[in-house]
Amino acid sequence: MSLARTMEGLMAGNSVIRKMFEMGQEMAKNYGKDQVYDFSLGNPVAPVPYEVKNAIISLLENQDPHEIHGYMKNAGFDDVRTQVAEHLNSRFGQNYHKDNILLCAGAAGGLNILMRCLLDEEDEVLCFAPYFTEYKSYVSHYKGKLAVVPMKADDFSLNLDAAERMIRQRTKAVILNNPNNPSGIIYAEEELLLLTKMLKEAEERVGHPIYLICDEPYRELAYDGREVPYLPNLYRNSIYLYSFSKTLSIPGERIGYMAISDAVEDGELLMQAAIIAGRTLGFVNAPSLFQKVIGQCLDVKIDLGFYDRNRKLLYTELTEMGFTCVPPQGAFYLLVKSPLEDTESFVKLAEKQHIILVPTDGFGLPGYFRLAYCVPYEKIEASLPAFRALAEDCRNCECDKEAEEEG
């Protein structure tokens, strides 16, 4: 075999999200799109805000095409970096300037850049279960180890006691995704203050900075008036990552940014390394046109009501059918406990009803599955009879199992 062994491992552990999405695509070809209920992929379908379209048209018509389609500094256009810094300062009371900002190819691009900057072989990055499944790939790319802090039993709060025990000399960073994918939980400020206190004490113990990587592509998707605390205000060694994929419904455009404040230990050196890493990893720079677009759309938000309606309908209907669901506070995911002990069997039952969902074993959370409700409201309405049939199938399976045990 000519492939690198590390690549063979990545192929074997290919994203279950993508596998289920591709299955849904095949089923749609066979049965028709309106007969398949695909909740696999976090691909937002809320309308792209009109300001995005207007910005694109205005830029194409009024600006020098060589500028908006050409190279710039690897960190991004200076004017857009300044706009991002001023936007963050206005919202969160920070003191960013343009040199604190790196425009990158989405939050995923930023995470890969950070892993390249921080990790030597066998270095560790902590994250809390449940976690976005791609974190493991991002860390392993650079020969690091992802140390997953186990979840407390049936509790989606941060397991800080376990995290403290797991921090070692080789721990370089902690990734925190808030609001969380896949749970939809929002970590409150009281809990985050306990996390930051623990990290400060751990830094003193190990004798080097432990960076808190704040992965926040779902920041604007917070329901019922909840606030998402801004972690750089709570912990000085925070590195902030943001993506416009969900906020503006433009995931395919791959645009986001990284913010490293002057307060971060070795922050200037880290930013210099990040700029070089982005170039050497082949990103070179974030997409040029959409750098300019987001510079004009920093205050634009997606219609939160679009997802809130979906959230309420799906959660209410599934709980009434007898499914055990985690009430989502943010993002656009619903976690549901598998009614069957064997999650794989449940997923196959769902497929028979043309329902595509994602088991969360790869998220560090066995026994659950994730539904991405970033779909048209009408698709959820249409799926409800299939979910009712699925619930009935599960009850029949349980009855058959009990009969076998009695027999």
User: Mean pLDDT over residues 200-222, rounded?
Assistant: 97
User: Mean pLDDT over residues 207-235, rounded?
Assistant: 97
User: Mean pLDDT over residues 268-277, rounded?
Assistant: 98
User: Mean pLDDT over residues 256-282, rounded?
Assistant: 97
pLDDT tens-digit map of 239-258: 999 999 999 999 999 999 99
267-271, 359-363, 370-374: least confidently modelled range: 359-363
CA of 160: how far to CAs of 41, 174, 251, in Å?
30, 12, 32
Q: 253-269 burial, b for 16+ CB within 10 Å, e for fewer?
A: bbbbbbbbbeebeebee
Beta sheet of 333-337, edge-to-edge order: 325-326, 333-337, 368-372, 358-359
pLDDT of residue 2: 73
Higher per-residue pLDDT: 218 or 11:
218
pTM: 0.94
215 contacts 238 by C-beta, under 8 angstroms = no
The set of residues, in sequence order, having a beta carbon less than 8 Å from that of 312 and lying 6+ positions away, is: none
Inform me whether the pLDDT recorded for 353 exceeds 70.
yes
Cis peptide bond upstream of 385, omega within 30: no
Higher per-residue pLDDT: 8 or 59:
59
Inform me whether the pLDDT recorded for 261 exceeds 70.
yes
Round the average pLDDT of the chain to a whole number and report it. 93
d(CA 296, CA 54): 10
pLDDT tens-digit map of 383-394: 999 999 999 998
User: Mean pLDDT over residues 308-325, rounded?
Assistant: 97
Higher per-residue pLDDT: 255 or 154:
255
pLDDT tens-digit map of 125-139: 999 999 999 999 999
pLDDT tens-digit map of 17-35: 777 778 777 787 888 888 8
pLDDT tens-digit map of 57-105: 999 999 999 999 999 999 999 999 999 999 999 999 999 999 999 999 9
Per-residue pLDDT band at 379 (split at 50, 70, 90) = very high
pLDDT of residue 403: 45
pLDDT of residue 33: 84
pLDDT of residue 99: 98
pLDDT of residue 385: 97
**DSSP β-bridge partners for residue 147:** 126
Per-residue pLDDT band at 399 (split at 50, 70, 90) = low
pLDDT > 70: percent of the chain: 95
Inform me whether the pLDDT recorded for 404 exceeds 90.
no
Inform me whether the pLDDT recorded for 401 exceeds 60.
no
d(CA 370, CA 358): 5
Inform me whether the pLDDT recorded for 371 exceeds 60.
yes
Q: 314-351 burial, b for 16+ CB within 10 Å, e for fewer?
A: bbebbeebebebbebbbbbbbbbebbbeebeebbebbb
Q: What share of the chain is helix, strand, coil (3-state, %, to 5)?
A: 50, 15, 40
**DSSP β-bridge partners for residue 174:** 126, 212
Provide the H-helix boundaries in 144-266: 160-166, 189-206
Residue 396, judged by CB atoms within 10 A of its CB (0-12, 13-18, 19+), counts as exposed
Higher per-residue pLDDT: 50 or 11:
50
Inform me whether the pLDDT recorded for 407 exceeds 60.
no
